């Protein structure tokens, strides 16, 4: 682990510890997060992206290929359409949610403005570590990194 990677990991650990100790600003947590980057557009990643967009966040959804992204956004549209029918949402409701999601195959660009990064990639620890290591070089210092597991 390089010196800068170790320093960054230590900085993020201190931020988490401060938060857990109650040393955090008296603000609405939602106000601190406006942009969410989701890595992986499979079942879990697209589901997380949908919930984040439905909650009002701007979402960058990343995956390796455009075909993977197309499948992910298609699943989101299908899920939202089904929900809209069941709950009598206005005609433009689905599009208003989907419009908060941007798709990209540019791994680093997805997290430039992110306040929260959630990875939902393949269950391989070295891939997850490598992803976070790369993202840490461009993410804001205040960005929170989170991991997801389907196992």
Average pLDDT of the chain to the nearest whole number: 88
Token couple for 87: 């709950």
Question: What's the confidence (pLDDT) of residue 43?
Answer: 94
Residue 60: which H helix or E strand, with range? strand 58-62
Mean pLDDT, to the nearest integer, of 19-27?
60
Rounded Cα–Cα distance for residues 125 and 86 (Å): 39
Question: What's the confidence (pLDDT) of residue 32?
Answer: 80
Residue given tokens 């660009």 in the structure block: 109
Rounded Cα–Cα distance for residues 71 and 69 (Å): 5
Q: Which residue has the higher pLDDT, 7 or 18?
A: 7
Rounded Cα–Cα distance for residues 44 and 48 (Å): 6
């Amino acid at each position: 682990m390089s010196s800068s990677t170790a320093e960054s990991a230590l900085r993020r650990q201190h931020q988490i510890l401060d938060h857990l100790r109650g040393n955090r600003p008296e603000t609405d947590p939602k106000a601190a997060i406006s942009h969410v980057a989701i890595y992986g557009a499979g079942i879990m990643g697209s589901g997380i992206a949908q919930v984040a967009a439905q909650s009002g966040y701007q979402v960058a959804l990343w995956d390796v290929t455009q075909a993977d992204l197309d499948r992910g956004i298609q699943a989101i549209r299908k899920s939202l359409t089904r929900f809209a029918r069941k709950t009598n949402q206005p005609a433009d409701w689905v599009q208003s949610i989907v419009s908060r999601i941007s798709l990209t195959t540019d791994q680093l660009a997805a997290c430039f403005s992110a306040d929260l990064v959630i990875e939902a990639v393949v269950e391989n620890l070295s891939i997850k570590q490598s992803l976070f290591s790369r993202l840490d070089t461009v993410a804001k210092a205040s960005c929170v990194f989170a991991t997801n597991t389907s196992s």
